[in-house]
């Protein structure tokens, strides 16, 4: 049987879809499994015995992808976009499973109820219920080789023990205020490693200090994974390093601002802090403050983060 997983969203979303890969392999060990996602899946999902099909959502790609997924028997789509529904419908894959919250949900042969009141991993695994599966692999999983870890230690001069912090996000309203991160670096005694994308280099300079190693914009995805795997704890906003950490069996501490654990993206290994405000939660991917106060960005205190960190350590 040929099985297709379709998740073309962000890095963290793909990490949280890895239990689908594991559960399909557990229940149908002889099946051919393919994963459709953005180009980064070639690096992120190294180590899985599956076919990786890249799709970066270009107009021409939307037509050429049909040839690549032709002949599959089952398609499972955690992605809820209009494009996903249309392409999978046009593919003529006989069994197409998606959420009832998807755009054009009637284009799926099987629709599963989408609920915010569960973790994203469990929500995704519900998509396997129409296949009659009873055994589910719940934990996300990624692979990093020892050689990659050794290279990262040498290249970035990493200490034996350190805390990794990830202050930045694709959505600014997911980011705890910079002053909070600066204060946190002064309250933590262990060495700190800061990570982020090239666009965050200038802002990251404000977090620099004697015990801070700034790797913002300096790591490839595989190097980032290696560094995360070596850390004792990852402290992050509501972003992909939380899920990468858990998939590498590293505890994570999430600091929530405009989003909330209610949406199901909290650490499976670790803890979280959230603002205590009447307007919370806001939305899964907020772009504008509903009240105009931006109070959630500063509601969590650095001292609270340190107390949670002590419990994890």
CA distances from 76 to 67, 105, 129, 276 (A): 18, 13, 11, 37
DSSP output for 240-296: HHHHHHHHTT--EEEE-SSS-GGGS-S-SSEEEE----TT----SS--S-SSS--GG
Q: What phi, psi does 70 have (nearest 5°)?
A: -65, 140
Q: Profile the chain (313 residues) by mean pLDDT over runs of 10 residues.
A: 97 98 97 98 98 90 92 97 96 98 97 95 97 94 98 98 96 94 96 97 92 97 98 97 98 96 96 92 84 92 97 94
Q: Is 129 within 8 Å of 110 (Cβ atoms)?
A: no
For residue 77 the two structure tokens come to 């789509």
pTM of the model: 0.96
The per-residue pLDDT for 59 is 80
Helix, strand, coil shares of the chain as percentages rounded to 5?
Answer: 40, 15, 45
Give the residue range(s) of CATH 3.40.50.2000 domains in the chain. Answer: 2-131, 148-312
Q: What phi, psi does 273 have (nearest 5°)?
A: -130, 140
The per-residue pLDDT for 284 is 83
> What is the spatial order of strands in the sheet that 270-273 belongs to?
212-214, 192-194, 163-166, 233-237, 252-255, 270-273
Please, where are the H alpha helices in the chain? Answer: 11-15, 18-27, 41-44, 59-68, 82-90, 120-125, 146-156, 178-187, 201-204, 221-230, 240-247, 302-312
User: Would you identify the CATH topology of the domain 148-312?
Assistant: Rossmann fold (3.40.50)
The per-residue pLDDT for 62 is 87
The per-residue pLDDT for 288 is 87
The per-residue pLDDT for 181 is 97
Cβ burial, residue 113 (10 Å; 0-12/13-18/19+):
exposed
Q: Is 73 within 8 Å of 1 (Cβ atoms)?
A: yes
The per-residue pLDDT for 83 is 95
The per-residue pLDDT for 134 is 83
Of 3.30.465.10, 3.40.50.2000, 3.40.50.300, 3.40.50.80, which CATH number belongs to 2-131? 3.40.50.2000
A 10 A CB-CB count for 27 gives: 17
CA distances from 285 to 84, 169, 238, 288 (A): 19, 11, 10, 10
Cβ burial, residue 40 (10 Å; 0-12/13-18/19+):
middle
The per-residue pLDDT for 208 is 86
Q: Is 50 within 8 Å of 303 (Cβ atoms)?
A: no
The per-residue pLDDT for 210 is 84
- Beta bridge mates, 52: 35
- Taking the C-alpha atoms of residue 50 and residue 107, their distance in angstroms, rounded to an integer, is 26
């Amino acid at each position: 049987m040929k099985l297709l997983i379709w998740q073309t969203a962000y890095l963290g979303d793909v990490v949280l879809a890895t239990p689908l890969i594991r559960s399909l392999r557990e229940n149908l060990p002889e099946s051919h499994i393919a994963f459709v996602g953005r180009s980064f899946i070639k690096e992120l999902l190294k180590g899985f015995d599956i076919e990786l099909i890249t799709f970066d959502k270009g107009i021409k790609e939307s037509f050429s992808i049909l040839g690549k997924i032709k002949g599959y028997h089952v398609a499972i789509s955690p992605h809820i976009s209009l494009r996903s529904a249309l392409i999978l419908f046009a593919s003529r894959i006989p069994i197409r499973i998606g959420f009832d919250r998807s755009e054009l949900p009637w284009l799926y042969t099987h629709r599963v109820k989408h609920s915010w009141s569960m973790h994203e991993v469990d929500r995704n695994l519900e998509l396997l219920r129409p296949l009659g599966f009873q055994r589910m692999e719940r934990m996300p999983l990624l692979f990093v080789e020892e050689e990659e870890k050794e290279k990262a230690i040498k290249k970035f001069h990493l200490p034996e023990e350190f805390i990794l912090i990830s202050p930045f996000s694709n959505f600014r309203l997911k980011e705890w205020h910079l002053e909070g991160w600066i204060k946190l670096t002064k309250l933590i005694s262990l060495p700190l490693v800061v990570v982020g994308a090239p666009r965050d280099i200038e802002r990251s300079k404000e977090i620099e200090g004697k015990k801070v190693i700034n790797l913002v914009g300096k790591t490839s995805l595989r190097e980032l994974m290696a560094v995360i795997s070596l850390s004792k704890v990852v402290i992050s906003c509501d972003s992909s390093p939380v899920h990468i950490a858990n998939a590498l069996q590293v505890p994570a501490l999430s600091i929530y601002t405009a989003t909330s654990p209610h949406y199901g993206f909290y650490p499976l290994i670790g803890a979280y802090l959230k603002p205590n405000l009447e307007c919370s939660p806001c939305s899964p991917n907020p772009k504008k403050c509903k009240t105009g106060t931006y109070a959630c960005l500063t509601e969590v205190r650095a001292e609270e983060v340190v107390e949670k960190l002590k419990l994890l350590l």
